[in-house]
Structure 1
Amino acid sequence: MRPILDVADLDITIAGRCVVRDLSFAIAPGETMALIGESGSGKSMTAAAIMGLLPPGARIGTQARLRLDGELLKPEDEAAMRRLRGRAMSMVFQDPMSCLNPFMPVSGQIDEALQRLGTGAGRERRARLLELLAMVELPDPAAIARRYPHELSGGQQQRVMLAMALAAEPQLLIADEPTSALDATVQAEILALLKNLQRKLGNALLFITHDLAAAAELAHRIVVMQAGRAVERGPVPVILGAPREDYTRKLVSTRRMLAAPPQTQPAPRVGEPALRIEGLVHDYPARSLFGRAFRSLDGVSLTIAPGETLGILGESGSGKSTLARIAIGLARPSAGEVTLFGTPIARLARLDRALRRRCQIIFQNPYGALNPRLTIESAMREPLELLGLSGPGDRDRIAAALGDVRLGPEHLARYPHQLSGGQRQRVCIARALLSEPELLICDEIVSALDATVQMQVIAMLKALQARRGFAMMFVGHDIEIVRWMSDRIAVMHRGQIVEQGPAGLLVEAPQEPYTQRLIAAMPRAHTMTGEADEGGGTPHRDLAEPALG
């Protein structure tokens, strides 16, 4: 069977540096191949080369051969590639909001694509537009067509992008991290949609991701990339069940570790709760004179005991981050009580220094949390000075704190841009722990990190908690990570806690319908044990190895 896409001996260099080296693979009609790897491994550059969208200064090696349905592609020939893009091959990107025109309704944007394809008159294009929106399973296509991008959820925006990409029913669809910015339930829906659309249209799919579980759910074969090279390739059951390379084994073991929570949990200490919240309400004010206030939290009640970790689980917009900010005094509630170490703080304009020493927060974006003009040493001195903890031994204290998060003293003189994302988040953790807090609030602290780095950070944080005994509020939307970290979990939906209980019990036997939907969206057990999914496996045995000629 002739492959739809055949990539042979692909090299890509940027400013003399080779970012993809000697990459070869092929994808058959109706097959999904996942390109797996961490940030910087060359996945997106490979997709850009296939589409003829490489950035200025990037060069493809002269020996490379890229073929689409047997025809040689010429990525350097923009006119030739433009005739293929959106017709024979299409691409869906990671962030749909940055790809959609904010000043045009959905109908205008899809109609623009249909006009480019030469799809009939206005009435015919309108019918095709609604057909495409229905095909990507959007409710009420006519209403969706009238909306602007900002009026859609992230999942709806990604479905609109899929509708545009599939307008010409291309032979090849490239999906570059299409679910990485989405919540668990929406991610599961998009993966199922991609699978259903491929079954209906028969297109080849190149699925680019750093999430091994998502690849296992969708793909027939996997190519694992590291530092621009393909280090391992094969059918999904083989890669997951018996990986040969150390790097692949590391990726697989990371997912399996998440599926099995730690056997030893720090026992919560008895005594006064570190945090007690009762009947918490928070309203965002109306944006206009006749507008209505938005209720982000509605009657939330919870407690965190000394030494305990309470996971706050929910999707985007559920009120998790607002709850975290109120808990540490960065926002004031509209009603309800918040008690921090026995002190009511709901009516305080700001926490006093003693309370701020005892409670610290770590934010989602470590780059935004660190001043780009300050060295790591200077950034870590700030809380010591602000909390009245500064002294002659500051440098040694800071170096010791970095050592606790496995960073050496050589990092003291570096700036944030000189560190990786994982290293920056470790610095933020070390800085938060300088005051030896009794309560640490972690707001989506690993959601922007690669899988292996995520595991390193949460394992390190768990070890620090076991040694120091602080309590934690761990906010997240990744069910497996929240379960791995938590003693108990509270599930939030539309500003309310709909269910809470012991972490293991809540995940294994959820009681509320919303929690059940969340848990159902988790990667199924077979995806990380190498068992074949229904319709999965390797249906194209003749393409188990790439064409190299």
Structure 2
Amino acid sequence: MTAPLLSLRNLIISAGGRRLVDGVSLDLEAGRTLAIIGESGSGKSLTALSLLGLLPDGLEVDPATRITVDGRVLAPRDERGWRALRGRRIAIVFQDPMACLNPFMRVGEQIEETLQRAGIAAPAERRQRIVTGLAEVELPNPAALATRYPHQLSGGQQQRVMIAMALAGEPDLLIADEPTSALDASVQADIVALLARLQAKRRLALLIITHDLAVAGVLGHSIAVMQHGRVVETGPAAEVISRPRDPYTARLVGARRRLADVPAAQTMARPVAVTAEAVCVDYSARRLFGTSFRAVHGASLSLLAGRTLGLLGESGSGKSTLAAALAGMRPLADGRIRLLGHALEPRGKPLPDALRRRCQMVFQNPYGALNPRLTIGRALAEPLALARVPASAQAARIVAGLNEVGLDADHAMRYPHQLSGGQRQRACIARALLCEPEVLICDEVISALDMTVKVQILDLLKRLQAERGFAMLFVGHDIEAVRWISDEVLVMHQGRIVERCRPEQLELSAVRDPYTRRLLSARLMPKFDGAIVEKPGGQPRLQVSTAADCLPAW
């Protein structure tokens, strides 16, 4: 039996006497992929950081913990030992490439730093390896791209640059921490396929940290499931996902499975809450003599009371701009919007204050939408004060609003940083509903959440809509989520609505537009019927629904 490249035994990480990671043991061989899945706070990222000696100060590692890399035993705080391995034997790709790349340095300069640390002394050789590295991660025109700054690249290109930087030192083990979590479906599929090709080409050992079952099933030879700092289940990827043994794993799989089942759409006649006719929205030129940019071209739609209209598209498609225009938050360049009986037109009157309360938005980033200096209770009191609700009645309304979204009264005393991501989003929904809106616009409200929390938020929105009867515009790039919650789906591409269909028609066999077909082809969706194909080395791999050319044939 081949000795593992990486061996981790009894990893225990504590903070203030509380165990954050509790007795984790893992093995990873050269050329193999281990996927660690779990929700936020499960300890999976701390486990990955410990394998590079990068744990933050203040965390204690138990002396009994043993980390072995290619036969060499390393102490978790052995900085000199880890420094010799980082970037050379082990490298990492982090979740948010824009936060990791230096915004003041060109892409090529940042890769060159890695090459210098790896011992490549000759400038000519470094320049050649920069271009070669960017070409290896399949970036177009790598020589020109090396001269750009990170903000001049798309999210997918930034992630490819991070992968090129990690591979510059030719490591044996690559750790990818949530490499696809913030990406659109097609870009996610591209990155997953790229990692698979790079692993096969370089015979890398690959450690994937993710909460996406599809990514784990596609890339992983084996899966370790973490909950509350412990590994609760391990095994071949296909068996763990299609036949989970642990109740927690079954709950993760069940949450994803639910989104695969599209509920029957409502057909009852309803009054119209919002209409848009040939709406165009422009962004002003950034320079004095520059030209404006048209973000939305001739969009027309109708949103009915008590119904949900899904707006699906990738980043930059114009869907958030259109949503803001429908809420009266962006001026129109052309066309007409009628919101709850009030007409919005180019150079027309703005939305009256009384009407603004009847149309509310819930934004993508709940942490950014809540003032970090205010408690949740004070944040929820603001719309009540604007609505002139007496101070004596506000406390009861706030508690009722929190209870309605599944939060307790004591959450009103907490600050945003003291809540989980799902709890913060529930607080934002509660704040929007305190105004008793007739139209609720949800802009990417589940994009940064774990799968089980996503389903909880979707269930919550559906229940609240059934109870209150508001019209809802649900904006997103998650195909399964948009399809599951919507009564009708619109697909946007380059500022235009290119497809209109019922949610059950959002399938390759039914849609007509080439972009929609490409979007559906790129998605990674596990099949839960236990269908298994073989990976190299005789290990099973979960079959997924994806484009034929998305992944290499094993």
Range into which the TM-score falls when normalised by the shorter chain: over 0.9
Counterpart Cα distance in 1 of 2:380 and 2:248: 33
Residue equivalent to 2:280: 281
Residue equivalent to 2:350: 350
Residue equivalent to 1:240: 241
Deviations 1:394-420 (A, max 9, x none): 433332222221222233333333322
Counterpart Cα distance in 2 of 1:254 and 1:435: 31
Deviations 1:490-521 (A, max 9, x none): 11111111112212212352211111111112
Residue equivalent to 1:224: 225
Deviations 1:222-258 (A, max 9, x none): 1011111111111112111221111111100000001
Amino acid at match of 1:308: R
Residue equivalent to 1:545: none
* SS of residue paired to 2:498: strand
Q: Name the CA shift for 1:268/1:307 in 2 (closer, same or farther; >3 Å).
A: farther
Q: Name the CA shift for 1:58/1:381 in 2 (closer, same or farther; >3 Å).
A: closer
1:61-460 to 2 correspondences below 5 Å: 61-119=62-120, 121-263=122-264, 265-271=265-271, 273-346=272-345, 347-390=347-390, 393-460=393-460
The alignment yields a C-alpha RMSD, in angstroms, of 2.0
Deviation, structure 1 residue 268 = 4.5
Number of residue pairs aligned between Structure 1 and Structure 2: 538
Amino acid at match of 1:181: A
* SS of residue paired to 1:19: strand
Amino acid at match of 1:449: L
Q: Name the CA shift for 1:81/1:294 in 2 (closer, same or farther; >3 Å).
A: same
Counterpart Cα distance in 1 of 2:147 and 2:373: 45
Residue equivalent to 2:539: 539
Deviations 1:68-87 (A, max 9, x none): 12221233221221111111
Contact map agreement 1:173 1:203 (CA 8 A) in 2 = yes
Residue equivalent to 1:13: 14
Counterpart Cα distance in 2 of 1:336 and 1:47: 51
Residue equivalent to 1:56: 57
Residue equivalent to 1:477: 477
Amino acid at match of 2:340: F
Counterpart Cα distance in 2 of 1:164 and 1:61: 32
Contact map agreement 2:213 2:241 (CA 8 A) in 1 = no
* SS of residue paired to 1:287: coil
Counterpart Cα distance in 1 of 2:165 and 2:371: 40
| Stretch moving more, 9-18 or 216-225 | 9-18
Counterpart Cα distance in 1 of 2:308 and 2:175: 40
Unmatched runs of 5 consecutive residues or more in structure 2? 542-554
Deviation, structure 1 residue 122 = 2.5
Amino acid at match of 1:381: A
Amino acid at match of 1:470: F
Contact map agreement 1:235 1:538 (CA 8 A) in 2 = no
Contact map agreement 2:273 2:439 (CA 8 A) in 1 = yes
Q: Name the CA shift for 1:248/1:489 in 2 (closer, same or farther; >3 Å).
A: same
Q: Name the CA shift for 1:109/1:410 in 2 (closer, same or farther; >3 Å).
A: closer
Counterpart Cα distance in 2 of 1:421 and 1:295: 33
Deviations 1:415-461 (A, max 9, x none): 33332221121122122222332211101111122111111111111
Counterpart Cα distance in 1 of 2:538 and 2:42: 25
Counterpart Cα distance in 2 of 1:294 and 1:390: 45
| Stretch moving more, 194-203 or 317-326 | 317-326
Counterpart Cα distance in 1 of 2:358 and 2:32: 54
Contact map agreement 2:224 2:233 (CA 8 A) in 1 = yes
Counterpart Cα distance in 1 of 2:249 and 2:226: 9
| Stretch moving more, 360-369 or 454-463 | 360-369
1:485-504 to 2 correspondences below 5 Å: 485-504=485-504
* SS of residue paired to 2:367: helix
Amino acid at match of 2:176: A
* SS of residue paired to 2:413: coil
Deviations 1:30-87 (A, max 9, x none): 1110111111111111111110111112222111111112221233221221111111
Counterpart Cα distance in 2 of 1:268 and 1:340: 21
Deviations 1:270-325 (A, max 9, x none): 33x21111111111111112333222112111111222211111111111111111
| Stretch moving more, 530-539 or 222-231 | 530-539
Contact map agreement 1:311 1:486 (CA 8 A) in 2 = yes
Counterpart Cα distance in 1 of 2:219 and 2:167: 18
Amino acid at match of 1:202: R
Contact map agreement 2:532 2:540 (CA 8 A) in 1 = no
Counterpart Cα distance in 1 of 2:529 and 2:63: 40
Deviation, structure 1 residue 348 = 4.6
* SS of residue paired to 1:51: coil
Residue equivalent to 2:505: 505
Contact map agreement 2:12 2:19 (CA 8 A) in 1 = yes
Deviation, structure 1 residue 97 = 1.5
Deviation, structure 1 residue 537 = 8.9
Amino acid at match of 1:484: W
| Stretch moving more, 449-458 or 500-509 | 500-509
Q: TM-score with structure 1 length normalisation?
A: 0.93
Counterpart Cα distance in 1 of 2:409 and 2:525: 42
* SS of residue paired to 1:403: helix
Deviation, structure 1 residue 99 = 1.9
Amino acid at match of 1:300: A
Counterpart Cα distance in 2 of 1:121 and 1:425: 51
Amino acid at match of 2:117: R
Contact map agreement 1:353 1:387 (CA 8 A) in 2 = no
Contact map agreement 2:237 2:540 (CA 8 A) in 1 = no
Residue equivalent to 2:552: none
Contact map agreement 1:389 1:435 (CA 8 A) in 2 = no
Deviation, structure 1 residue 11 = 0.9
Deviations 1:125-153 (A, max 9, x none): 22222211111111111121121111111
Deviation, structure 1 residue 102 = 1.9
Deviations 1:469-501 (A, max 9, x none): 211100011111111111111111111111122
Counterpart Cα distance in 2 of 1:460 and 1:536: 43
Contact map agreement 2:33 2:221 (CA 8 A) in 1 = yes
Counterpart Cα distance in 1 of 2:382 and 2:538: 55
Amino acid at match of 2:415: Y
Counterpart Cα distance in 1 of 2:529 and 2:206: 23
* SS of residue paired to 1:412: helix
Amino acid at match of 2:327: I
